[in-house]
Amino acid sequence: MKKLSTEQIEQICESHLFSLPYFRGMLRAVENSLVESVDLPEKLLDVGAGDGHFAQAALKGKTLLGIDPWLSPMLEAKSRGAYGLLVQADGKALPLPDGCLPGALSNSVLEHIPGVQGVLNEVGRVLEPGGIFVFTVPNQRFRTQLWGMSFVNKLGLKKMAAVYEKFFNKISRHVNLDEPETWLQRLRAAGFSQVEYHNYFPVWAMRMLERGHAAGLPNLLWKKLFNRWVLFPSRKNPFLRFNRVLALVKYPLDEEGTCTFFIARRNA
């Protein structure tokens, strides 16, 4: 992983904090910095293109094939112009021939997919020998380190803490909140023999993101009224927490982090 310049990091923070609710923007900025620290091939498959915001910010200059099962976000992704081609498809049945691409990426997507092994198998199938696959996912600490759980536990309400954990991860649509070792087993089964991973996003940042779901409600209003998540995109806007996020993006890795970044290579 290569080190980014201060200018690159500042640009990454602006790209996300100026156009997304801060709690979502801070996570995407960190993930952007991780992806940018890896030398990726010019042609990439984006598994779970979504609305295309991340690709537009993090994958400039790449020739991108985006796939997603949902039509509505893909229409927004198309309007951004970040993809050479967008295809509505299920990640468990990619409409691509074997070994046709040198690289693939998936950002904060695989944690939402039941039966995710099928997606990993398909990515392994369509990558050429030695092809690279990078992806980010929250890990098991999203089940054990939530701020709401900690708060309720201090009150002695352990059953309520368990209810809160299930509620938060349900509204976040989290299905696969697993330790890196579980993902390693899945990747090996899908034909990836060389795997490197790094934990990132410390507990305090996850809890800031967690509380931000409520604090970010005004952003939803701005989006409805003005079609913009952020009305005042400026480093001086105190609600964007720019300097704090900047410091986080400069030093994103944390051994006890709540998310994990994987760099995997298909068997040669």
Look up the CATH number of the domain holding residue 226.
Answer: 3.40.50.150
Contact 47, 112 (CB under 8 A): no
Distance of CA 190 to the CA centre of its chain: 21
Which structure tokens are listed for 28? 């995407």
> 233 lies in a domain?
yes
- What is the C-alpha to C-alpha distance for residues 65 and 43, in angstroms, rounded to an integer? 8
Return the sign of the alpha-carbon dihedral for residues 243, 12, 209, 257: negative
pLDDT, residue 250, reads 95
Domain that holds residue 12: 6-137+175-266
- What is the C-alpha to C-alpha distance for residues 70 and 217, in angstroms, rounded to an integer? 24
> 135: which strand partners?
106, 262
- What is the C-alpha to C-alpha distance for residues 240 and 14, in angstroms, rounded to an integer? 10
**Which of 72-81, 103-112, 211-220 is predicted most confidently?**
103-112
- What is the C-alpha to C-alpha distance for residues 170 and 155, in angstroms, rounded to an integer? 23
Q: pTM, whole model, 2 decimals?
A: 0.94
Instruction: Using the CB atoms, write b or e for 27-42: b if 16+ within 10 Å.
Output: bbbbbbbbbbbeebee
Number of other CB atoms surrounding residue 240 within 10 Å:
24
- What is the C-alpha to C-alpha distance for residues 83 and 55, in angstroms, rounded to an integer? 8
> 159 lies in a domain?
no
> 132: which strand partners?
103, 265
- What is the C-alpha to C-alpha distance for residues 111 and 262, in angstroms, rounded to an integer? 13
Contact 144, 158 (CB under 8 A): no
Angle at 224 between CA 86 and CA 21, to 5 degrees: 75
> 67: which strand partners?
47, 87
Contact 19, 76 (CB under 8 A): no
> 122 lies in a domain?
yes
Give tens-digit pLDDT for 170-224: 999 999 999 999 999 999 999 999 999 999 999 999 999 999 877 777 777 778 8
pLDDT, residue 245, reads 95
> 241 lies in a domain?
yes
Cα 110 to Cα 91, 104, 175, 222: the distances in Å are 10, 13, 9, 29
- What is the C-alpha to C-alpha distance for residues 262 and 184, in angstroms, rounded to an integer? 9
Total domains in the chain come to 1
> 76 lies in a domain?
yes
pLDDT, residue 239, reads 86
pLDDT, residue 78, reads 94
Average pLDDT, integer, range 95-112: 97
> Comparing C-alpha atoms, which of 57, 146, 64, 69 is closest to residue 112?
69
> 166 lies in a domain?
no
> 84 lies in a domain?
yes
Q: Residue 1 — pLDDT band, cuts 50, 70, 90?
A: confident
- What is the C-alpha to C-alpha distance for residues 92 and 259, in angstroms, rounded to an integer? 23
User: Looking at the predicted structure, is the pLDDT value of residue 68 above 90?
Assistant: yes
